[in-house]
Amino acid sequence: MASLLSSPLIARFLSLGAGISAALLLVGCATQPQSPQYNAELDDLLKELRSEYAYRTQSDPLGSYLANRGLTDRTFSYAREQLGTGPHAMAGEALNLLGIKYTFGGEDPNSGFDCSGLIGYVAEKSLGLKLPRSSAELARIGRSVPRDELRQGDLVFFNTRGARYSHVGIYIGDNKFVHAPRTGAVVRIEDLSVSYWQQRYNGARRLDVNDAQLASR
């Protein structure tokens, strides 16, 4: 499988200059603010990289992840840096887990994740919240969000097993979400506009980190 490293997108990425390299390689270090045009160009390019990554992981998710792991780590480090704290931090934490194997009942990176196990792990790591374990229970917390108002970190729900809210993922922006899909697959990015997900979409919920009910679970 061809690596994303040979993609024309990378040539564009590198052409943005040393400023991007600093943003990607000096994760956690303070950097000088860039112009709105510069940041917009970065955001647009990251959207394209996410789309290409998602496309290439459909047929061979684990092989693609291993082939492109270096690129993934560098490009998504910038995205994670920009997501900040609060509910958005869930999206950033989820990107850290791309490529982890699916395991039914799994709830940590060592053993693998199922869909709700991934949500629970990300919420605890990024927000300090202990969430209910099943996707159906998760669909009853937070507040409902219309699809056209989705934000990074929102939980998106699907009917994939003949029951509403039987699957859940984390929205990361640009109509994409991260999830642990099924046995034999890995944590990966999907596109909500794909007909399979459109037909099974059940809605979204937004966690409130200040919600005492959530914090006490």
Residues identified as active-site: 115, 167, 179
139 and 205 Cβ atoms separated by less than 8 Å:
yes
Give DSSP secondary structure letters for 139-198: TTSSEEE-GGG--TT-EEEE--SSSTT-EEEEEEETTEEEE--STT-BSEEEETTSHHHH
Beta bridge partner(s), residue 83: none
Residue type, 4: L
Half-sphere exposure of 59 (CA within 13 A, CB side): 5
Q: How far apart are CA 72 and CA 5, in angstroms?
A: 10
